[in-house]
Structure 1
């Protein structure tokens, strides 16, 4: 953890941001009693609170305060995984014993689980891991997909300066199906919330593949 002159090496940019968010979560007061809808699990590193899935680093005050305080070396060594537990390090010791089944032993190992590197800009979490629906809850599976997409969006932003049309062509070709799904979901949502457009029907051919996608409320309704 030290460089050749005996000092701690500088944190990479994403680790600095991670450390700042961790400390903020550590300081934020948790309301008591805890909302029964929130089920933090520091062993799997998942929480059902809305802040968790919105966090770039999959952090929330419930999880950060559910483990013992970490030492400075933690921020240099902690590794992020593409499947549960999303963060792993020997210092991540939960305050309480598990209340239910924990991870299978093979899920805790390093086999097939990508870890981060210290590259700036994009947090590289290694090779993707196929999620097993039999072992992952809906929340855990969806959270992993959300985090993958957010990481990839950060990576796409980094590609701008290179202006490599070969990558853009590959993105358009390989991601065509996903982009169509995303556009259909957002189009249906826009029409649902629009006062000028006719609401989409359930079996409309152009958006039949998104019939199970629930439209978000308009911004004014989200704050109520």
Structure 2
């Protein structure tokens, strides 16, 4: 990805990819090869693709190339409230007294378990180790849930609560639960080490679930405005510190310019680094927009024209009093 962006001069794309995907803290969350001893639980690529598919076909099916601010508004007002209401179904306090709905993962797991439990066993004898949840038949690696018919049929039919609580661990044993009882009468040691692999992330980090909206309800407009104002306050605080830094830097430059002979090396270094060049270009582009009224024919700059792309970045969203 770095070579792809470097060869095409896509600095902004690589900046986004690094901060959101490829930096060490983010890379470990989605790539499977980063932890050779762990087996990932999520089909990360499929989950991301499914989200974008739903966003494009359910929310943006009436829009062609929507603006960024409109897209953010639709995600905040339509997508997130629906997701929160859907996740509320799996909360422990949702509809007390009724059976809890299975998550999509556990529903598919239960279907696969029931299917494997009905398959006939052959005459070949394999080594089934329930302590590590492995089998020598070699079919586990082809199963989404790391199951095989020998492992499933080596335990008694589990209680229905097992399918509501099952969590696949990333290290052996992949499944460890008190409701898994071997048919041979032996006892299985239930692994309860409190690791993230057990799925008890909230217990480890001390996180508390955020209150969700009622099912079928939409986020209030006041809540959306509150989030926007909080974001604006944070943005203003950041720019306030940046403004003081820029003013201090300009004061230093003015002082050095008044003594060009003594500050020759310093001024040469500033010129080589193009210090203030981006700020000057932004001021020139905004001044041109305000004085001449030059507007863009399209929202985004034309491909291949660096000057047009830079003008677009410097003037998009600027407030003209």
TM over 0.5: no
Q: Which has the higher contact order (CA 8 A, sep 6+)?
A: 1
What's the TM-score bracket when you normalise by the shorter of the two chains? 0.3 to 0.5
Q: Which structure shows the higher helix fraction? A: 2
Q: TM-score, normalization: structure 2?
A: 0.31
